[in-house]
Chains A and B, each alone.
Chain A
Amino acid sequence: MTLHPILVALRRHKAGVVLIALQIALTLAIVCNAVFIIGQRVERIGRPTGLHEKDLFMVEQTWVGAPSGDDPASIEKLDALQRADLATLRRLPGVVSVAAANTLPLTNNSWGGGVSLKPNQQNATTRSVFYFGDEQLLPTLGLKLIAGRAFNAGDIVHQGFRDTRTPPIVIVSKPLADSLFPHGDALGKTVYFDGSRATTIIGIVARLQSSSTSSWSSGFDYNSAIEPVRLDAYFSRYVVRTRPGREQAVMAAARDALYAANPMRVISDDPGDDNGIRSFAQIRDQAYRADKGMAILMGVICLILLGVTAAGIVGLTSFWVGQRHRQIGVRRALGARKIDILHYFQIENGLIAGAGVLLGVLLALGLNQWLMSHYEMTRMPLPYLLTGVLAMLALGQAAVFVPARRASNVPPVVATRSV
């Protein structure tokens, strides 16, 4: 079958052809970019924190009537309160370990700053978030130490949370170590936090994600430093690891036990995100809820978009079939088989869709470029585009099949009948 008659016929339906091709092009451009965004979000949601996340929960509470000053007496009193809480939690049945911590990954409560190789450097070498915790923090979180040593009880100091002193030793994540010392010799080196506070790297953990998921920390998502400090403030946070499967039971018991030990506190019982006792699964869910919502929305819009485009192709092709009823009859009377008529419409659709996807590829790349210049977006990899092209061609063929089959069923006798 030659293409010539098809092209000639198409020329008589310029407006319709252009509209279908345009629709296919726009759909391809939007769907490709939307699927790319979905892919990015899914990747983001799936990022590991470096923690062993099962059977882990966090307690967040605020003292009432506790000292608010930064004088040594106040700090000592706050620290005694905090140590009492840690002991209370440790006594609960089902608890494996408990640690004091200032924050956890994904909670979006962040302490952060610059890290430099020399004191008072003009610009910091890199940036990082700071975690503060006691010697139980590494085992409780399930962090993997790959070099050096962990903290022991003797390393831990305690200080007020506005106190900016940095202890002499620190544990860093491998990405932070690598960005400071690309040759892998970070262990034992001295670095400077916030320009001037010297500390020595004594250990490296494989992975520890930033406490922030916002764009503030994008670029140093896995740069973390752990300081052997129990922070004393008007609030405190504890992480608890339980025996497998005991998480919910211990979470319920923890609230009562803490209130029983000292009622002068507030542990929020907000049913939603602000609850004072949250499992790490909840923390993860809350951190990525917006990304999940965005991915679902994009997915739904893509599906509807494909549906609308398919319906549009069906509608317009049906119209053409109706319009060419007699011509089809004539062809059939002159000896064309059913399959020839079917192929005619399929090839016609293939030509239109082909032109559409060509334009669509250009539009998709342009849209990607525009998104890159206005939003945090990277270049779309080619497989997305190729899959999109194939999907659009397949969609066109699927949509054209029903009207084309109806056309192939037009009996030859139509040619002799005048309507």
Chain B
Amino acid sequence: MFAYYLDLALRSLRRNKALTALMVLAIALGIGASMTTLTVLHVLSGDPLPGRSGEIYYPQIDPQDLRGMYPGKEPPSQVTLIDGMNLLRAKRADHQALMTGGEVPIQPEQSALDPFYVDARYTTADFFPMFGTPFLFGHGWNAADDEAKAREVVISHNLNQKLFGGANSVGRTLRLAGTAFQIVGVLDRWQPNPHFYDLNTGSYAYGEQVFLPLQTMMDLHLSRDGSNDCWGNGGGGTDTILPADTCVWLQFWVQLDNPLKVAAYKQFLIHYSEDQKALGRFQRPPNVRLRNVMQWLDYNMVVPDDVRLQTWLALGFLLVCLVNTMGLMLAKFMRRAGELGVRRALGASRRALFAQLLIESGVVGLVGGFGGMLLALLGLWLVRQRSSDYAALAHLDFSMLLTTFVLALCATLLAGLLPAWRACQIAPALQLKSN
């Protein structure tokens, strides 16, 4: 029966090529635009640490003075060095790491290469086990190395390719800002998108080339990048390279395996704030937040507004295309009232007619979906030509490919429901008589 209906549908579609083409084109345009924008949205709002992000939390505390305070105000989005170190050393979480970003010059041993700057991450040891970074060679450093201000460095896959041609470089020496560092690990390709652990340095398609201990960076006075928010009268002193104690400039992340630990950690943050207030360091009442990775990205509204706006626009466009297809399908089905009347008179049930017409709209949907996929590939290619930081990420993956066809099919079937139902209401006798 299905094959017969399919045959009927194809015949009917072929009979009126212009109308069919118009319907397919409308569906293809609507689906193409929607899938292009939905794919970009899907890529940008993706989970940077699949499987782990639910356990990784970003504690926020409020060390500011009373100026500009109002109830419900969010605490600063970073921590001061003192608080960061206190929380780090308290070791109340399963893993914890304190970090910031910067730029360091690399002076390659190979004379063929000029010195160049790379993005660096200065962090404490737990960064690697907590975020589950994949190692190609070697491993990270440990907490003792942090305290010892070890001259140890982990480099990225790309840098290893550039400097050592991809060979195992663990144990070799790398000159960073005039100081010799020993390479202890080489990461495999790892670039979480968004760059959740420090959104100040760029949200997408950003990755550091070298990772070295935070205390080593402070010891060597390496340069720092990113956000630095200060309050009160204390800016940085003239002779100190680090921001003052009244500046927040570090990110602090913790791993908490279960909800009990999360609740306990939040209590700990409140107690810590109370203790600091009793000591006179904090002035505000405890004001803490503990968001996991996805909540943190959400709170920071990482996905650009324009991308959301484009998605809404494309979905609106799809809606108009569907209404359009619905109208055209209605015209098409009603024009065949005579043929349908004959089929009814010969004993076809309403259900059978309904199924036949829906199959016809399904065929339009599938062809339109295919066209939409091609248009989406074109659209994403166009997106990639633009130079936004997320441009390179815009690719259609398998799940979005499947979504394209499901969306196209569901949308056209939905659009076909009303016309098919209307066409089935035809009284066969009336149609036969009038002809």
Contact = CB atoms under 8 A, between A and B. Distances in A.
Nearest to B106: A64
Contacts of B115: 64-65, 266
Given A290-B306, A301-B33, A304-B29, A34 B321 contact: no
Contact of B306 (A34, A70, A266, A294): A294
Chain A to chain B: the 8 pairs with minimum beta-carbon distance, closest first: A164-B235, A319-B331, A19-B327, A312-B324, A23-B323, A162-B236, A30-B316, A64-B115
Nearest to A286: B387
Interface string A325-360: 000000000000000000000000000000000000
Contact of A311 (B22, B107, B418): B22
A275 interface: no
A165 B233 CA distance: 11
B383 to A, nearest CB: 9
| Chain A contact patch, size range | 35 or more
A297 B241 contact: no
Q: Which of A34, A165, A305 has the largest number of chain B CB atoms within 10 A?
A: A305
Given A15-B419, A123-B67, A308-B26, 17 more contacts: A15-B330, A15-B422, A16-B330, A19-B330, A62-B103, A62-B105, A68-B222, A123-B68, A162-B243, A163-B238, A266-B105, A290-B386, A301-B33, A304-B317, A315-B331, A319-B335, A419-B435
B23 to A, nearest CB: 9
A387 interface: no
B328 interface: yes
Given A16-B327, A297-B310, A315-B19, A68 B387 contact: no
A245 B232 CA distance: 49
A234 interface: yes
B410 interface: no
Nearest to A163: B238
B220 to A, nearest CB: 8
A294 B310 contact: yes
Given A19-B330, A23-B324, A311-B324, A273 B387 contact: yes
A69 B308 CA distance: 44
B258 interface: no
Contact of B327 (A165, A305, A315, A419): A315
B189 interface: no
Contact of A308 (B68, B313, B320, B335): B320
B177 A68 contact: yes
Interface string B288-332: 000000000000000011101110011011011101101110111
| Chain B contact patch, size range | 35 or more
Nearest to A293: B386
A353 B199 CA distance: 49
Contacts of A315: 19, 22, 327-328, 331
Given A272-B387, A304-B29, A23 B327 contact: yes
A122 interface: yes
A263 B29 CA distance: 55
Given A16-B331, A293-B386, A316-B328, A68 B309 contact: no
Interface string B391-408: 000000000000000000
A180 to B, nearest CB: 18
Contacts of A30: 313, 316-317, 320
B105 A65 contact: yes
B218 to A, nearest CB: 12
Contacts of A64: 105, 107, 115
A160 interface: yes
Contacts of A301: 33, 313-314, 317
A298 B105 contact: no
B262 to A, nearest CB: 30
B309 A26 contact: no
Interface in B67-81: 67-68
Interface string B88-131: 00000000000000010101000000111100000000000000
B241 A26 contact: no
Given A30-B316, A315-B19, A70 B239 contact: yes
Contact of A65 (B67, B178, B418): B178
Nearest to B66: A122
Contact of A312 (B230, B305, B327): B327
A43 interface: no
B334 A319 contact: yes
Contacts of B103: 62
A160 B237 CA distance: 10
A123 B243 CA distance: 23
B18 to A, nearest CB: 8
B317 A305 contact: yes
A213 interface: no
A68 B240 CA distance: 11
Interface string B207-235: 00000000000000111000000101101
A210 to B, nearest CB: 17
A308 B221 contact: no
Nearest to A298: B313
Given A26-B316, A65-B178, A68-B241, A196 B233 contact: yes
A293 B117 CA distance: 31
Nearest to B114: A266
A34 B422 contact: no
A328 to B, nearest CB: 16
B222 to A, nearest CB: 7
Contact of B313 (A22, A34, A162, A323): A34
Given A15-B330, A163-B238, A308 B324 contact: yes
9 contacts: A26-B323, A37-B309, A62-B117, A70-B236, A195-B67, A289-B386, A289-B388, A316-B328, A319-B331
